[in-house]
Amino acid sequence: MERTNRLLRGYAYAGALVLGTSVAGCAAQGDTCTETAAPNATASPKPVLFVLSAASEQRLRNGKTRQTGFFLGEFYEPYRALRAAGYEVTIATPDGRPPVVDPESLETDYWEHPDWLSDARRVLETHPGFAHPISLAQARRRSDTFDGVIVPGGQGVMIDLVNDADLHALVTEHGRAGRPVGLVCHAPAILARLPADDNPFQGRRVTSVSAAEEFYIERIVMHGKAEDRAISNTSRRAGTATIQPSPESLRR
């Protein structure tokens, strides 16, 4: 129970929580090398898998192209919490390509704690998974060796992750096994792509980017509508109860 509670405390920072709990490593040259942390003495948790976008560009409906990627803060906050709880972290991307940070997420306005941004930049430079992530195909083969999966948000999710068959299998297997799956901001769109007859998340409560947030982002930040959008409405139609409270409320 304590092991599960520590993992859930980390996932509370993930922005979305689909309850369900493993060997990970950051593969270098096809092998594994894991950034380690001293685990809690009462348990020996397996690593948690972070799935990051490697997409660098996004085409909008108006024909414009903009830089994209994963949102750094949406990676760093759950990463920070899980590392503090003694979990190791493995990073996976489509085809094992280096993950791409959305440059928008480096703006200081997105960071409540400026020192967290500095530390997040350090993690980008030092964690071996950013230079040598494992592929989603590798992660899928090792699915039962992870304690959980987190997919940080960012528009990059909608480019190279939302329709990835290996990621669908990973999320489905973890959901079916009752291991935690953290889907942040745009990432719950993945649930709507799972087969209706094989979706263990139907009926779950899920937080996601809201329609109002999408409107603001597209109007003020992106200056155009995304080609793939309406995440909360799409997730709701797929059978999840999409809400926008704090993650803490999902644990009540």
**Which pLDDT does position 244 carry in this prediction?**
53
**Which pLDDT does position 198 carry in this prediction?**
85
**Which pLDDT does position 26 carry in this prediction?**
27
Q: What are phi and psi of 187, to 5 degrees?
A: -65, -30
Tokens 């094989």 -> residue: 198
Please name the residue ranges forming H helices in the chain. 2-11, 72-84, 114-126, 128-131, 136-141, 157-160, 165-177, 211-216, 231-237
Radius of gyration of the chain (CA): 17
Q: Are 209 and 199 in contact (CB under 8 A)?
A: no
Tokens 């995304």 -> residue: 226
CATH of 2-36+45-245, one of 3.60.110.10, 3.40.50.880, 3.10.20.340, 3.20.20.60: 3.40.50.880
**Which pLDDT does position 35 carry in this prediction?**
41
Domain ranges for the chain: 2-36+45-245
**Which pLDDT does position 252 carry in this prediction?**
41
Rounded Cα–Cα distance for residues 183 and 28 (Å): 26
pTM confidence score: 0.77
* Helix 72-84 and helix 2-11, axial crossing angle in degrees, nearest 10: 160
Rounded Cα–Cα distance for residues 166 and 29 (Å): 20
**Which pLDDT does position 204 carry in this prediction?**
80
Rounded Cα–Cα distance for residues 211 and 59 (Å): 20
- Which residues partner with 150 through β-bridges? 50, 182
- In tens digits, the chain (252 residues) has pLDDT values of 344 444 444 444 443 333 332 222 222 233 333 343 444 445 568 899 999 999 987 676 677 877 889 999 999 999 999 999 999 999 999 999 999 999 999 999 989 998 999 999 999 999 999 999 999 999 999 999 999 999 999 889 989 999 999 999 999 999 999 999 999 888 988 988 888 888 888 888 777 766 667 666 777 776 666 655 556 556 666 555 555 544 444 444
Closest CA to 92 of 167, 9, 168, 196: 167
